[in-house]
Amino acid sequence: MNKYESVIIINPSIDEEAVKAVSQKYVDLINNDGKVEKIENLGKKKLAYDVKKNKEGYYVVINFESKPELIAELERNYRIEDQIIKFITVKAE
């Protein structure tokens, strides 16, 4: 199992409870085949450039441990989710 860090930017037009619900959905998905070590909600921040006509977004950082096969499934789910405007998953050192 490898360690990964996933950063997702969630649409700023939803409320805090919806942000928690979206992030919890992905924590549950990761916990099915891996283990979440830490989840950090960084709050609403200004974006460096407009993403899907948004100037701000809720940043959520998820540190987890899983098999490499889970990453493809996780990113597929990120793409499907309408509330996620940007994401990146990297292997942690």
pLDDT per residue of the chain (93 residues) written in tens, 0 to 9: 899 999 999 999 999 999 999 999 999 999 998 999 999 999 999 999 999 999 999 999 999 999 999 999 999 999 999 999 999 999 998
Q: Is the pTM of this model over 0.85?
A: yes
Residue ranges per structural domain of the chain? 2-57+68-86
Residues with Cβ within 8 Å of residue 31, at least 6 apart in sequence: none
- Give kind and range of the element (H or E) at residue 46: strand 35-51
Residues with Cβ within 8 Å of residue 84, at least 6 apart in sequence: 8, 9, 10, 11, 22, 78
pLDDT of residue 56: 95
Nearest to 7 by CA among 31, 23, 20, 21: 23
CATH code of the region 2-57+68-86: 3.30.70.60
Rounded to 10 degrees, the C-alpha dihedral 13/17/22/24 comes to 160
